[in-house]
Amino acid sequence: MRTSKFFAVPTIALGAMLLSAGPAMAQTDNGGEADGTTDQNQSWSFQADLDTLNNSGTVGDVLIEGQGNQATVYMTVEGAAETFMDGPFPHAQHIHIGAQGQCPGPEADEDGDGVVSTPEGEPFYGPIGTSLTIEGDTSPDSGLAIDDFPGGSSYTYERTLELSDEALASVVDGTGVVVVHGVNPELMPEEAAAKQSFLDPELPLAATLPAACGTLTASQMGEMPEGGADTGVSGGAQGSNMALAAGGGALALGAIGAGAYFMRQRTVES
């Protein structure tokens, strides 16, 4: 049976069904090599262009390559706020999940202070599903652990982490949204720049304000390897599949970056 015509959603659902059938199958096995990993070998790939929110000037690209719940996140971010209290401006960044899968427009500014705060954006992109920290915990609990996030005006980010079932389901569902936070207060309306964050009264609103946002969509990179998944199940090809995915990811990210750069060049010229 060929499954290559199916999109990522049904194949992952199929993987989950096979996985739940796993223990029964393992019992009939002699138990020697029951690693159970082949059922989760389905690879997937999602990407997002991060567009500026709140006049921040911040833009970026995201690529997430995954197999089951294991995911490697590649990001490039440019034009972000540079310094905060004499240090690099920390940029909390998350995969938000489980809402409309959209980035908010200016009309989401309910209190009329001229910016769309993180709570004001939540009806569009939802709560935090994964905190894209540099190290340590990646759960929503670390959403404001600003010491654990990248900082400065431009950076690249790469981390392999485990998505929760909820986060994976949302990403696959098309409602995963990557949000980078932290806006230079000089770019904000005075009233908003003087406010403290709604999320942490110890922080200025500028530190948690959404700066860039993009909805994760299935990338073509993720659809192509599906025909090859059958061969991956048969054993030793697993490692090389992962290497291929990672290499392809880097290539794709480079291509995305070049595209974004080209677009900006055109914007400047026109």
User: Which residues bind to Cu ion, rule: CB under 5 A?
Assistant: 94, 179
Contacts of 207 (CB under 8 A, 6+ apart): 84, 89, 90, 92, 146, 181, 182, 197, 200
Q: Are the CB atoms for 207 and 185 separated by under 8 Å?
A: no
Tokens of 77: 């971010």
Q: Cβ 96 to Cu ion, closest distance in Å?
A: 6
Q: Cβ 128 to Cu ion, closest distance in Å?
A: 6
Q: Cβ 157 to Cu ion, closest distance in Å?
A: 14
Nearer CB in complex with Cu ion: 42/184: 184
Nearer CB in complex with Cu ion: 8/124: 124
Helices (H), 96-156: 118-125
Q: Cβ 131 to Cu ion, closest distance in Å?
A: 8
Q: How far apart are CA 188 and CA 192, in angstroms?
A: 6
Q: How far apart are CA 79 and CA 52, in angstroms?
A: 9
Residue position matching structure tokens 């909820």: 166
Nearer CB in complex with Cu ion: 67/175: 175
Nearer CB in complex with Cu ion: 92/192: 92
Nearer CB in complex with Cu ion: 110/230: 110
- Strands (DSSP E) contained in 108-148 are 128-131
Q: Characterize the bridge pairing of strands 87-88 and 59-67.
A: unpaired
Contacts of 102 (CB under 8 A, 6+ apart): 124, 125, 177, 215
Nearer CB in complex with Cu ion: 94/195: 94
Q: Cβ 127 to Cu ion, closest distance in Å?
A: 9
Residues for the chain: how many in total?
270
Nearer CB in complex with Cu ion: 213/245: 213
Q: Cβ 165 to Cu ion, closest distance in Å?
A: 20
Tokens of 108: 């989401």
Q: Cβ 180 to Cu ion, closest distance in Å?
A: 8
- The crossing angle, in degrees rounded to 10, of helices 8-28 and 165-173 is 140
Tokens of 92: 């909390």
Q: Which of 173, 184, 144, 138 is nearest to 157 (CA)?
A: 138
